[in-house]
C-alpha cells in the first residue's frame, strides 16, 4: 500500500530530539492514528503509550526492544512491534523513513 | 487551518540533500498537491516546476528569490511565493517546518 486515502493530516510536524526525529500525524475515519516520520542517524530512546507497529520504509537501524538484551538490525521493508507503556532504543545507521501505527 | 481533511498521503517520504530536506506529499480530491516538509539547518537550492506558496510553520531561514540580489529573513508564521520554472536558495538557520502548496 503506497498511499493512505481519506485521512486527516495535522499540518504542524511532531518534532523530537531537536529535529533529529520528526513526523506527521495521520488520523483515519475510524479514529486510528499513524505517524509518518524521519529519523536522522543517531541514538534515540522512545516511550510508548499505545502498542506500536513500526514499519521501516527505507534506511537501516538497530533496535533494542523492551526486555531484550540484544539489538536487532532492521532494514527498509522490515518492521517490529513495541508493547504499550514501554521504552525502546534505536541506533539509526542511515536516514530512516518510517510508518508508525498505533494499535488498539 | 491546523488540519487537512480527506486527503491522500503518499506513504514514502520525498528525500532530498541526503535527508537534510524531507517531505510528505498530500493530494486533495480536486488534484491539488501540497507537501509538508522539514529542512535541517544548512544551505539548499531548489528548482520549481509549478509556482509555489511556501508557508513557514516554524523555524527561521533566509531566502533568495529568483531575480533578487538580496536575502529575506523568514520566520515561522510567514510565507513567500516562488514563480514556476525558477530556482531559489535558502539558508536554514534553525530547523524549519514548512507547507508547500503547488499553485495552478
Average pLDDT over residues B87-99: 98
Is the distance from CB of B39 to CB of B83 less than 8 angstroms?
A: no
Asked whether residue A58 is assigned to any structural domain, the reply reads: yes
- Please count the structural domains in chain B: 1
On whether residue B21 sits in a domain, the answer given is yes
**Full domain range(s) for residue A57:** 8-102
Q: How many CB atoms lie within 10 A of CB B14?
A: 13
How many CB pairs lie under 8 A apart between chains A and B?
89
CATH code of the domain in which B60 resides: 2.60.120.10
Say how far apart CA A28 and CA B49 lie, in whole Å: 31
Q: State the ipTM, two decimals.
A: 0.95
DSSP codes joined into one string, B23-88: EEEEE-TTS-EEEEEEE-SEEEEEE-SS-EEEEEEEEEEEEE-TT-SS-EEEETT-EEEE-SS-EE
Distance from CA of A97 to the nearest CA of B (A): 7
In a domain, B3, yes or no: no
B13 — phi, psi (to 5°)?
A: -70, 155
User: Nearest residue of A to residue B10 by CA position?
Assistant: A3
Verify whether the Cβ–Cβ distance B36 to A9 is below 8 Å: yes
Question: Does residue B2 lie within any of the structural domains?
Answer: no
- The reply to whether B60 falls in a domain is yes
| Of the candidates A40, A42, A46, the residue with the CA atom closest to the CA atom of residue A22 | A40
In a domain, residue A2? The reply is no
In this predicted model, what pLDDT tens digit does every residue of B43-83 receive, in sequence order? 999 999 999 999 999 999 999 999 999 999 999 999 999 99
Q: What is the pLDDT of residues B17-48, one digit of tens each?
A: 999 999 999 999 999 999 999 999 999 999 99
Residue A61 half-sphere exposure toward CB, CA atoms < 13 A: 31
Picking from A3, A18, A22, the nearest residue to B11 by CB comes out as A3
Amino acid at each position: 500500500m503506497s498511499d493512505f486515502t481519506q485521512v486527516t493530516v495535522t499540518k504542524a510536524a511532531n518534532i523530537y530530539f531537536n529535529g533529529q526525529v520528526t513526523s506527521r500525524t495521520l488520523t483515519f475515519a475510524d479514529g486510528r492514528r499513524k505517524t509518518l516520520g524521519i529519523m536522522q542517524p543517531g541514538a534515540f530512546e522512545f516511550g510508548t503509550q499505545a502498542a506500536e507497529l513500526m514499519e521501516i520504509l527505507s534506511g537501516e537501524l538497530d533496535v533494542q526492544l523492551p526486555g531484550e538484551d540484544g539489538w536487532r538490525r532492521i532494514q527498509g521493508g522490515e518492521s517490529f512491534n513495541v508493547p504499550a507503556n514501554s521504552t525502546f532504543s534505536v541506533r539509526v545507521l542511515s536516514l530512516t523513513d518510517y510508518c508508525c501505527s498505533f494499535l488498539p
